[in-house]
Amino acid sequence: DSGVTQTPKHLITATGQRVTLRCSPRSGDLSVYWYQQSLDQGLQFLIHYYNGEERAKGNILERFSAQQFPDLHSELNLSSLELGDSALYFCASSPGTSGSQETQYFGPGTRLLVL
Amino acid sequence: AQSVTQLGSHVSVSEGALVLLRCNYSSSVPPYLFWYVQYPNQGLQLLLKYTSAATLVKGINGFEAEFKKSETSFHLTKPSAHMSDAAEYFCAVRLNFGNEKLTFGTGTRLTIIP
């Protein structure tokens, strides 16, 4: 158990809908990262938040957005969903105090299926 | 920009045999390198990481990896495979400054033959 929790575990929805994925980082971690894992794209970095502020963006679609709240949990919002958005979405956290050598601890993921 | 190449999307070894999973990186600056393992229906778990302290890195479950700058490689090895090692393994690179994202390879699925 990494200490990172993600809800829900599974999500089935229809095209055009909007969903929210939630992540609670490990106690004390200030950095939260979101990744998407799909069969055709592999593991791709989406976005990084540090202590409530956006730090970096990766290959994140404009239909997707995220935020980190004062209690440090994070939400990833996916809207106007398409079939191709079906994937496993991971959240990872790290302390955020030691730079790039820090280990990122991954949650169990949310499996999204868009029908 | 940094990138990682994992040679061999599928590797099969017999139980008790040597495990060798290959990873080559490309980075314009000294990188940090990581190996993660993913068991079915689970998240990623860190096996080991290289952060420039020592070139031979020992990780969990008997795995180790050696950073070879001249070969731009960070191959993962284990002397004797166990059935419980069957999983998908990902090599990842991160720059030592700036954007702290992990850039992952495409993964290698390891199968252990009894």
Q: Give the closest of B42, B101, B103 to A56, CB-based.
A: B101
Top-ranked range on mean pLDDT: pick from A30-34, A38-42, A101-105, B37-41: A30-34
Instruction: Tell whether A79 lies on the interface with B, counting CB pairs under 8 A.
Output: no
Record: contact B102-A45, CB cut-off 8 A = yes
Of A42, A58, A106, the CB nearest to B43: A106
Burial of A87 (0-12, 13-18, 19+ CB in 10 A): buried
- What is the per-residue pLDDT across B55-109, written as a single tens digit (0 to 9) for each? 999 999 999 999 999 999 999 999 999 999 999 999 999 876 666 788 999 999 9
Q: Which residues does chain A have within 8 Å of residue B59's beta carbon, measured at their own beta carbons?
A: none
A105: chain B residues, CB-CB within 8 Å = 46
Contact B32 A42 (CB under 8 A): no
Q: Is A101 helix (H, G, I), strand (E, B) or coil?
A: helix
3-state secondary structure of B79: coil
Count Cβ neighbours within 10 Å for each residue of B66-101 and write b for 16 or more, e otherwise: ebeeeeebbbbebeebeeebbbbbbbbbbbeeebbb
Decide: A48 and A30 in contact? Cβ < 8 Å: no
Q: Which residues of B touch A109 (CB under 8 A)?
A: 43
Say which residue the tokens 């980082």 belong to. Answer: A25
Q: What is the pLDDT of residues A9-57, one digit of tens each?
A: 999 999 999 999 999 999 999 999 999 999 888 999 999 999 999 999 9
What pLDDT is recorded for position B91?
97
C-beta atoms of A101 and B51 within 8 A: yes
The amino acid at residue B82 is: H
Give contacts of A31 with chain B, Cβ < 8 Å.
100
A77-98 pLDDT per residue, tens: 999 999 999 999 999 999 987 7
Helix (H, G, I), strand (E, B) or coil at A9: coil
Q: Under DSSP, is residue B35 helix (H, G, I), strand (E, B) or coil?
A: strand
